[in-house]
Amino acid sequence: MPSSSENPFGNPDVIVIGAGNAAACAALAAREQGASVIMIEAAPKEEAGGNSRYTAGAMRVVFNGPEDLKKIIPDLTDAEIAGADFGSYTTDQFYDDMGRLTEYRTDPDLAEILITRSLDTLIWMQKKGVKFQASFGRQAHKVDGKFKFFGGLACETWGGGEGLVDLEHKAAMKAGVQIFYDTPAIELIETDEGIGGVKVRVGNKKIDIYAKAVILACGGFESNAEMRAKYLGPNWDLAKVRGTRFNTGGGLNMALNVGAMPYGQWSGCHSVSWDLNAPPFGDLVVGDSYQKHSYPFGIMINARGERFVDEGADIRNYTYAKYGKIVLEQPNMFAWQVFDAKISPKLRDEYRIRQVTKVQANTLEELATLLEGVDAAAFLKTVQEFNAAVMDQVPLNLAIKDGRGTKNLTIPKSNWANAIDTGPFEAYAVTCGVTFTFGGIKINNHGEVENTSGKPIPGLYAAGEIVGGLFYYNYPGGTGLTSGSVFGKIAGDSAGKAVSKK
Ligand SMILES: Cc1cc2nc3c(=O)[nH]c(=O)nc-3n(C[C@H](O)[C@H](O)[C@H](O)COP(=O)(O)OP(=O)(O)OC[C@H]3O[C@@H](n4cnc5c(N)ncnc54)[C@H](O)[C@@H]3O)c2cc1C
């Protein structure tokens, strides 16, 4: 063993790898069971907190009415409740969404745990110091003077991802958990009993940290171009990364090296329409605002000047995570989102940031010349055909799936079809931004990592993006954080209980 001057990590019972939401929940839960816990974070402090920190903090949770939301958001006022139609998001609706969006491939055990423990887990987080608020800004439209919530996403963390991670790290430190930054884990240490610690890199040194249990909460491989090309396929190496640059698949490779079972859709990921000129990795100042998610209310055009997807197939929460892939598949991997003056005042906040790739024109003919890379004549023909196909006898209603579609188009638009006919016109250039990868390792219902024979690897637990089996093809918005919290807490509880018996 190295001397204590070489090894500042002590002899913890539990090592949590990562410092995002799943890691923080795991650390807090293990600590609650009485274990001594440290967190090992690859990023320096300024960039710590993983993708969790880049989020808007939207969290999908079962609630049967505002009274359940009050349990998570105690300061939700009576006036706010009276001025809003929160509706409810039942267990059945969550099951339906997980089934439908994953084409019924989601692991039934994992989905059941995610759904049935979502509310209790958020209540637990709130008690630990995380603050929540109602998502008035992004998940509600004002209808007849009342905020009407849509898409099962009524709640978000206060201060978004920054607020979430900040309060979680504060709670962890208050509970006696030390966080070591700039400390990537590089290898799991195997003993005759199972996993007995982790090798980390500190500067140029490699240091072994010994512990009774290790919890992997260190994300997927979305920030690793080589792994993206290998598993997701051609051109994915060229996609922009929406979040942290530190999720390079190290945890997955370490786990596979000790015999963990690969699980879930390794060829799939969550990816969105993301500003064409966004930097290669996420920017904590801009956060998620490079995304462009009002496309259901406009049209999307590729280099051939053609529409290529039903922009209004469903509300944004249920299509945005699979449309990045479709943009990636277009010639030269870009698209323009086009809106007219009837819709532009209703665009989401992210369309009004300074760092936006936008053109504007008073006429469609002028706009066509400004859409860089697009066949202008084909674009004008597409708009003409689209406008003629709009079922304008059906009223436009952005708050619901309004059924205002198109007639006789090869690629229909199913809702919110709106003729692009009133200047000034606006267009926004997007490419594919990858959020996180779906493939991972297999855990059992206690958060223990299983080996390829289906047996738990003693001392090894996992939670968050690194776990495979929940998401395939698509994803209901706001589920990533909830999954990290639910499975983080389970992994922490299990590891904490197991080490107390050793
Ligand atoms: C821009 C953006 C917006 C999003 N918005 C939402 C939203 O509103 N709601 C929602 O539910 N989801 C959202 N997501 C998805 C969400 O971020 C993830 O599903 C969730 O944060 C995953 O949590 P995690 O703890 O598993 O991973 P992360 O938060 O990514 O944490 C992984 C941690 O592991 C560390 N790490 C990686 N490798 C190593 C290593 N070898 N050694 C040590 N540490 C390592 C990383 O530095 C990081 O701290 C968004 C994602 C992005 C990028």
Per-residue pLDDT of 58-71, as tens digits, reads 999 999 999 999 99
pLDDT band at 48 (very low <50, low <70, confident <90, very high): very high
Pocket test for ligand 1, best of 218, 482, 489 (most atoms within 8 A of CB): 218
Structure letter (DSSP) for residue 184 = -
Mean pLDDT of 293-314: 98
* Residue 194 identity (one-letter amino acid): G
* The pLDDT of residue 1: 46
pLDDT band at 7 (very low <50, low <70, confident <90, very high): confident
Contact 494, 448 (CB under 8 A): yes
Ligand 1 centre distance from Cα of residue 282 (Å): 11
Ligand 1 centre distance from Cα of residue 229 (Å): 20
Closest ligand 1 atom to residue 290 Cα is 1
Contact 180, 40 (CB under 8 A): yes
Both ends of the chain: CA-CA distance in Å?
Answer: 20
Mean pLDDT of 41-48: 98
Q: Hey, how many other C-beta atoms are within 10 angstroms of the C-beta on 68?
A: 20
Contact 202, 211 (CB under 8 A): no
Strands 269-275 and 425-437: antiparallel
Pocket test for ligand 1, best of 38, 39, 52, 94 (most atoms within 8 A of CB): 52
Ligand 1 centre distance from Cα of residue 244 (Å): 7
pLDDT, tens digit, 9 for 90 and up, residues 475-495? 999 999 999 999 999 999 999
Mean pLDDT of 200-213: 96
* Residue 389 identity (one-letter amino acid): A
Contact 483, 490 (CB under 8 A): no
pLDDT beyond 60 at 297: yes
Smallest CA-to-CA distance from 412 within 313, 330, 288 is with 313
Q: How many residues in total does the chain contain?
A: 502
Mean pLDDT of 234-252: 98
* The pLDDT of residue 4: 52
* The pLDDT of residue 6: 66
Which two structure tokens, joined as six digits, stand for 431? 């490419």
Q: Which residues are within 8 A (CB) of 311 and not within 5 positions of it... i.e. 6 or more apart?
A: 295, 296, 297, 298, 299, 300, 413, 416
pLDDT, tens digit, 9 for 90 and up, residues 94-148? 999 999 999 999 999 999 999 999 999 999 999 999 999 998 877 777 778 888 8
By three-state DSSP, how is residue 212 classified?
A: coil
What does the alpha-carbon distance between residue 208 and residue 183 come to, in Å, rounded to a whole number? Answer: 12
Percent of the chain past pLDDT 70, that is, above it, reads: 99
Average model confidence (pLDDT) across the chain: 96
Helix (H) / strand (E) containing 365: helix 364-370
By three-state DSSP, how is residue 501 classified?
A: helix
* The pLDDT of residue 336: 98
* The pLDDT of residue 85: 86
Mean pLDDT of 234-255: 98
pLDDT, tens digit, 9 for 90 and up, residues 323-378? 999 999 999 999 999 999 999 999 999 999 999 999 999 999 999 999 999 999 99
Query: For residues 109-141, b (16+ Cβ closer than 10 Å) or e, as one string?
Result: ebbebbbebbbebbebbeebebbbbbbeebbbe
pLDDT beyond 90 at 29: yes
Closest ligand 1 atom to residue 254 Cα is 41
Burial label, 438 (beta-carbon count in 10 A; 0-12, 13-18, 19+): buried
Mean pLDDT of 269-289: 96
Contact 239, 434 (CB under 8 A): yes
Closest ligand 1 atom to residue 465 Cα is 26
Ligand 1 centre distance from Cα of residue 466 (Å): 10
* The pLDDT of residue 150: 76
Predicted structure pTM score: 0.96
Nearest CA to ligand 1 atom 28: 50
Contact 340, 379 (CB under 8 A): no
pLDDT band at 151 (very low <50, low <70, confident <90, very high): confident
Pocket test for ligand 1, best of 15, 25, 51 (most atoms within 8 A of CB): 51
Structure letter (DSSP) for residue 395 = P
Distance of CA 378 to the CA centre of its chain: 35
What residue ranges line ligand 1, CB within 6 angstroms? Answer: 17-23, 40-43, 48-52, 54-59, 184-185, 217-219, 242-244, 246-247, 250-251, 282, 288, 435-436, 464-465, 478-481, 484
